[in-house]
Amino acid sequence: MNKSNQAERHNERMKRTKEIVDKRIAEAQEERGVFILLTGNGKGKSSSAFGMVARALGHGQKVAIVQFVKGRMETGEQNFFTQQDQVDFHVMGDGFTWETQNRDKDIASAQQAWKIAKGILQDVRYDLVVLDEMTYMFKYDYLDLEDIISTIKQRPNLQNIIITGRGAKKSLKQAADTVSVIMDEKHAFKAGVKAQKGIEW
C-alpha cells in the first residue's frame, strides 16, 4: 500500500471512530454523582483514588477522605492532603490492627469511622468522598454492608464516592457505577525490592 492510500484509510477509520465517540457522548446525558469501586490485588487502588482527589481539588471541589486502616505510619497522602483547605482527612482510630488481638476494640474503631463517613455521605457540601481500604471492614464483618449500601444510594445526587480495597463483595460491586479490578501481574516487592517512599506510602 502506498503512503497516500495508507493516510486515506487512516483518516477514514478516524472519521468512523469519531462518529461512534460523538454518538456515545451525545447519549450520556444523565448528570449525577458516581460510585467508583477500585478493587483487586494489583497496585494502584488508593493512588488512583488520590489522583481523583487532586483532580477534584483542581476544580475547587470539597473532598472528604476516611481511611479505614489505623494510622500505622506517616503517609505522603496524609501529609499532603491535610494541608489542603478543601480536604477533610480522617484516619480510623488506633484500635485497628491486622494481627487483631481485640476484635471488640477494632469493631468500635470501625464503627466510629463509619459514623464520620455516614455524616459526610449525608452532607451536600462534599463533592467527592473517598473511603480508602473500606472493603476489609466487610471481610472481617466489622461493619454492616447493607447499611453502607443504602447510605451510598441515598447520598446527595451530585456527590461522587470512591471505595478502595481488595476482595470487594459482590453486593458492593453491584451497587457501584464503575468497578475496576486491578490485576497483580508483577510487583517489585515480590522480587525483594523494599517498599518505596513516595511510591508505596
Contact residues for ligand ATP, defined by CB under 6 A: 41-47, 133, 164, 166, 184, 187, 189-190, 195, 200-201
188: DSSP letter: G
Helix (H) or strand (E) holding 79: helix 76-81
Closest contact distance (angstroms) between CB of 85 and Mg ion is 25
Task: Compute the least distance from the CB of residue 118 to Mg ion, in Å.
Answer: 21
CB 49 within 8 A of CB 66: no
128: left (phi over 0), alpha (psi -120 to 50) or beta: beta
Cβ nearer to ligand ATP, comparing 45 with 155: 45
DSSP H or E stretch at residue 163: strand 160-164
CB of 69 to Mg ion, least distance (A): 8
By the 8 A CB rule, do 157 and 127 touch? no
Sequence-distant (6+) residues with CB within 8 A of 117 are 64, 66, 90, 129, 131
44-52, 67-75, 79-87, 189-197 -> range binding Mg ion (CB under 5 A): 44-52
CB proximity list for 166: less than 8 A, separation 6 or greater:
39, 40, 41, 45, 135, 136
Considering the complex, state which of residue 9 and residue 197 has its C-beta at the smaller distance from ligand ATP.
Answer: 197
> Measured from the CB of residue 2, what is the shortest distance to ligand ATP in angstroms?
47
**Least separation in angstroms between CB 38 and Mg ion:** 8
Which window, 11-19, 43-51, 75-83, 189-197, contacts Mg ion (CB under 5 A)? Answer: 43-51
Task: Identify the residue among 39, 46, 75, 109 touching Mg ion (CB under 5 A).
Answer: 46
Binding site for Mg ion (CB under 5 A): 45-46
